[in-house]
Structure 1
């Protein structure tokens, strides 16, 4: 059996969970190495050798090291193109271009407001950090405009980049999962018929359900 690739970081991290989902879609054997950020392990000299910015995830494939979750997903999809979900990163230039434009839309338009909302609504309460109501309101408005574009697109095609589930859709799973499960932003997504249908479909994939299981198992046990 080939040496498993290594993913460093907690599965609760949105960026780490993106990579895990991609690995599962592509049927790639991997080892998850938890990094305890509360203890500052992400700033240790050894870790900084593979992730110079001291963030998660970091990724190792034998002598290769990478960081930035979307780049890691592209690498995995290209290297293991013939196994698992072969449509994940497209099979021709036009498919790849369509996937890329929606990955960029996620990164540039969807992630900024949804990332703020995930932190403010999902993580800040757990960390005893005061929520910024002005910031929440502002980013709900920004996200709403993005979702209007998505709803129109998803009325024209099953998935964002076409008829097949791809990295374009996968990239949205981590942030949307936190928003739909336990915040009032859920209504922003589910009130839009096409976005709601799309979310139910992509979040039901076996790869993502396994990631959620990994997240749940990493939570501290209640006394």
Structure 2
């Protein structure tokens, strides 16, 4: 039986990159959903012209955009088997999606994280706050939960039914770590797949600003300590 794969791309002011992202997504994907997160540029028009389904989420925040995409999936008559989350800034390599979903298709993994390993990262593609935050967050997850995660990378795939069972709720920067923490608590089978990572097109709305980096760090750590107290 052919598995239905849908991609969700949160996008805020990604007019310069979104067409490249959509064009590089493999044909095994049934539908590409771009969630226009209150952009002030031509992201919406560019994504539509590139063939994506475009949803509009006026509430700013990565989690808000992802939840909007999930709301759309819930209304589909034929639900997907696998959902892939991918950034719209062209820092990920969308063509590596086949490697991301392979452990789900071949080994029945519940969750696959695209790990931005140093040897596959373009110089300058991850800022110091990003690198430090990843090291600290994954270290704490290892200490508190015995996890094997090394990255909070946004390029990831998850079985749709498993995603629903997580009852995702974070509206902003904590979406990725929330998913990983809840997957750990539910003892989902997971794996990381090394992926390439390049300098994004445009300026990051999170790591590119001091305010964004601080808020993201606080949100990520708050999720980790919240779940550590539930043990």
The structure in which a higher percent of residues are strand is 2
Q: TM-score range by the shorter chain?
A: under 0.3
**Larger of the two Rg values belongs to structure:** 1
The structure in which a higher percent of residues are helix is 1
TM-score, reference length from structure 1: 0.28
